[in-house]
């Protein structure tokens, strides 16, 4: 089992240090520290374990160090920045592991970009040695790239000529959409094994600056100082500690403090039940900070994030996720009100952004997702986003026979109107209303209204509203039907339908590049007996099927 929980004292691959308002994340990959046997992580190459630590470090810089305004990403090893994803790891991994690895790695890169865009933390790649493949993709995720000019250091994306695959964590899209590298130059760059160095790398916009060894540290320091001067993060702010996540796994049951999971293996389904808060919401940002990671929205974000990653990576035959909620919707609304009222507080901003990223992780997960809204549910505000993220939602009209609980309702809060954008730059309400943008404005006037099933169905918030006579059969048939379909077809179907409307760099990466990589990773030219990945480093030449498909 792959565990995504870690903390700095357990890091094997990264060194995190802080000097005033500047943090340094230095890559020092332990060659023998791979997630499994069969490969060595030489030349600062990485596997999923390296990225799990990076993800944790990025999170801690946001929550535990509000004073940090600039983060320098570099290598702690001599004359190598990062050789990218470990080729032996890729060559010996199952297809689903490769794709999930690429997805998580890119989500971590997105988290870096999110910190830069919304949290006042500028990331600067200090490229102090050769920087290839996924190593350059890590640099591309940073705001600025400074490369040492020593005659040997280059940046490169050699996946096409060396491996017969593509830069799997967004490299092509970041070249065109973020760095705005010209198409013809990008074509040349991506087919050069040796990469590009020096002034040409600057001229082609592949990096921002190059400096000789004698001036290199100063060039990086100047950029960090400028980033600090532009940041709105509190210079004297006190962070909060992210305590170890508590999770219990007992057979097919998984328990956290804010949610539980029950896996039904014959049905290939997992039921995820989110518990509403049981305590009153804090009054202001200082009270929220006093609670630290015990504050319910932050606990939920952390635990749901871990649950998604656990199921996605370790339970790949569980193809349908059923999302339910339970508890007091008014307490959910009160916590949403606290988030909305204190959105300018640095910690509240970070919590809201974390919830946004976690919901995005659901959006891009290759699982069928159904929301089941029954008496006792609390799909309110932030929790309603889970139903809006689902491929379908079923809401019981009325009550079950013999059940004296009040009928289910759903309710909108301010958090449904802008806080949690999807990768396409739209809210989930906007994505549901592409045919009628005015519908979202109309819904905004109904915040706080407890909508029953038929009202919610008419408002476009749920898919179906069966009564208790039809409920069991409709839900059962939907789950059984999903389990009978081709998982490959479902992955393609869901990914195509979830992101209507405009495209962004992020949506292109997940919808286009993920699909391309998913396909190319299975082709004989890449992974066949004479494909590039198995033969890499052997001295044998690959034999390619020359037909264009």
Whole-angstrom distance, CA of residue 129 vs CA of residue 75? 8
Whole-angstrom distance, CA of residue 267 vs CA of residue 24? 47
Q: Please name each of the domains of the chain with its CATH number.
A: 8-230 (3.90.226.10), 249-484 (3.90.226.10)
Q: Tell me the mean pLDDT in the region 81-98.
A: 93
Kindly report the number of other CB atoms within 10 A of residue 369's CB atom: 21
Taking phi over 0 as left and psi of -120 to 50 as alpha, with beta for the rest, 406 belongs to: beta
Whole-angstrom distance, CA of residue 22 vs CA of residue 227? 9
pLDDT greater than 90 at residue 513: no
pLDDT greater than 80 at residue 229: yes
Given CA atoms 55, 56, 59, 60 in this order, what sign does their dihedral have? Answer: negative
Per-residue model confidence as pLDDT tens digits over 173-185: 999 999 999 999 9
Query: Residue 511: pLDDT band by 50, 70, 90 thresholds?
Result: confident
Instruction: Give the rounded percent of residues in the chain with a pLDDT score beyond 90.
Output: 92
Q: Tell me the mean pLDDT in the region 46-57.
A: 98
Whole-angstrom distance, CA of residue 320 vs CA of residue 385? 18
Give the pLDDT score at 319.
97
Q: Tell me the mean pLDDT in the region 354-374.
A: 97
Strand-pair category, 253-255 with 248-250: antiparallel
Taking phi over 0 as left and psi of -120 to 50 as alpha, with beta for the rest, 541 belongs to: beta
Residue 247: exposure state from Cβ atoms within 10 A (0-12, 13-18, ≥19): middle
Which pair of tokens denotes residue 422?
A: 């999807």
Strand-pair category, 368-373 with 392-395: parallel
Give the pLDDT score at 162.
93
Query: 61-70, 356-365, 511-520 — which is least confidently predicted?
Result: 511-520
Strand-pair category, 70-75 with 22-27: parallel
- DSSP secondary structure letter of residue 416: G
Whole-angstrom distance, CA of residue 398 vs CA of residue 392? 19
Query: Residue 512: pLDDT band by 50, 70, 90 thresholds?
Result: confident
Give the pLDDT score at 112.
98
Whole-angstrom distance, CA of residue 349 vs CA of residue 346? 5
CA distance readout (Å), 33 to 14, 17, 29, 173, 227: 12, 21, 8, 31, 34
User: Mean pLDDT for the chain?
Assistant: 96
Strand-pair category, 22-27 with 14-19: antiparallel
Give the pLDDT score at 437.
86
Residue 270 CA to its chain's centroid (Å)? 21
**Residues near 41 by beta carbon (within 8 Å), at least 6 away in sequence:** 13, 29, 30, 31, 32, 33, 34, 47, 50, 86
Q: Which helix (H) or strand (E) holds 248?
A: strand 248-250
Nearest alpha-carbon partner for 81 in 176, 199, 216, 180? 216
Give the pLDDT score at 409.
98
Of 7 and 437, the one with more pLDDT: 7
Q: Tell me the mean pLDDT in the region 131-154.
A: 97
Q: Where are the alpha helices (H) located in 133-282, listed in sequence order?
A: 134-141, 159-163, 171-173, 183-189, 198-203, 213-230
Q: At what angle do helices 48-63 and 95-118 cross, to 10 degrees?
A: 20
Give the pLDDT score at 496.
85
Kindly report the number of other CB atoms within 10 A of residue 484's CB atom: 8
Q: Tell me the mean pLDDT in the region 508-521.
A: 80
Whole-angstrom distance, CA of residue 535 vs CA of residue 541? 7
Q: Tell me the mean pLDDT in the region 76-85.
A: 96
Q: Tell me the mean pLDDT in the region 63-92.
A: 96
Given CA atoms 423, 424, 430, 435 in this order, what sign does their dihedral have? Answer: negative
Per-residue model confidence as pLDDT tens digits over 457-506: 999 999 999 999 999 999 999 999 999 999 989 988 898 899 889 999 99
**Residues near 296 by beta carbon (within 8 Å), at least 6 away in sequence:** 258, 277, 279, 335
Give the pLDDT score at 169.
83
Per-residue model confidence as pLDDT tens digits over 156-171: 999 999 999 988 889 9
Q: Whose structure tokens read 């470990």?
A: 86
Q: Report whether 288 contacts 347 (CB < 8 A).
A: yes
Give the pLDDT score at 491.
87
Q: Tell me the mean pLDDT in the region 310-316.
A: 97
């Amino acid at each position: 089992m792959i565990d995504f929980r870690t903390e700095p004292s357990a890091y094997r691959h990264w060194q995190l240090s802080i000097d005033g308002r500047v943090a340094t994340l230095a890559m020092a990959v332990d060659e023998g520290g791979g997630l499994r046997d069969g490969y060595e992580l030489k030349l600062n190459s990485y596997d999923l374990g390296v990225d799990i630590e990076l993800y944790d470090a990025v999170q801690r810089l946001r929550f535990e160090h509000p004073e940090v305004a600039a983060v320098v990403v570099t290598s702690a090893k001599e004359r190598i920045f990062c050789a990218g994803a470990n080729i032996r790891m890729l060559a010996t991994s199952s297809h689903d592991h490769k794709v999930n690895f690429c997805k998580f790695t890119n989500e971590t890169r997105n988290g870096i970009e999110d910190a830069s865009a919304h949290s006042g933390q500028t990331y600067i790649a200090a490229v102090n040695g050769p920087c290839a493949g996924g190593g350059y993709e890590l640099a591309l995720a940073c705001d600025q790239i400074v490369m040492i000019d020593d005659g040997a250091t280059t940046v490169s994306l050699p996946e096409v000529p060396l491996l017969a695959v593509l830069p799997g964590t967004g490299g092509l899209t970041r070249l065109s959409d973020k760095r705005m590298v010209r198409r013809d130059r990008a074509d040349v760059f991506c087919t050069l094994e040796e990469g590009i160095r020096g002034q040409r790398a600057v001229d082609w916009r592949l990096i921002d600056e190059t400096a000789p060894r004698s001036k290199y540290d100063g060039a990086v320091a100047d950029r960090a100082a400028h980033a600090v001067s532009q940041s709105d993060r509190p210079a004297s702010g006190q962070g909060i500690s992210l305590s170890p996540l508590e999770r219990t796994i007992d057979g097919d049951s998984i328990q956290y403090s804010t949610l539980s999971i029950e896996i039904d293996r014959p049905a290939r389904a997992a039921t995820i039940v989110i518990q509403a808060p049981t305590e009153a919401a804090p009054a202001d940002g200082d009270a929220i900070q006093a609670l630290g990671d015990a504050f319910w929205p932050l606990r939920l974000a952390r635990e749901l994030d871990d649950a998604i990653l656990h199921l996605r990576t370790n339970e790949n035959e569980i193809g349908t996720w059923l999302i339910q909620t339970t508890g007091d919707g008014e307490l959910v609304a009160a916590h949403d009100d606290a988030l909305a009222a204190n959105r300018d507080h640095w910690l509240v901003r970070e919590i809201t952004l974390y919830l946004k990223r976690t919901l995005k992780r659901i959006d891009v997960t290759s699982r069928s997702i159904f929301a089941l809204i029954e008496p006792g549910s609390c799909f309110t505000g932030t929790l309603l986003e889970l139903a809006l993220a689902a491929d379908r939602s079923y809401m019981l009209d009325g009550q079950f026979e013999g059940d004296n609980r009040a009928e289910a309702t759903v309710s909108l809060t301010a958090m449904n109107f802008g806080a949690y954008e999807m990768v396409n730059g739209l809210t989930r309400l906007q994505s549901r209303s592409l045919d009628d943008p005015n519908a979202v404005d109309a819904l905004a006037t109904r915040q706080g209204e407890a909508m029953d099933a038929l009202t919610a169905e008419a408002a476009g918030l749920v898919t179906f509203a069966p009564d208790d006579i039809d409920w069991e059969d409709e839900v059962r048939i939907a789950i059984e039907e999903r389990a009978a379909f081709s998982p490959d077809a479902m992955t393609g179907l869901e990914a195509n339908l979830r992101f209507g409307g405009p495209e962004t760099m992020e949506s292109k990466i997940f919808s286009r590049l993920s699909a391309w990589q998913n396909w190319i990773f299975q082709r004989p030219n890449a992974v066949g007996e004479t494909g590039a990945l198995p033969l890499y480093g052997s001295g044998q030449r690959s034999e390619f099927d020359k037909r264009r498909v």
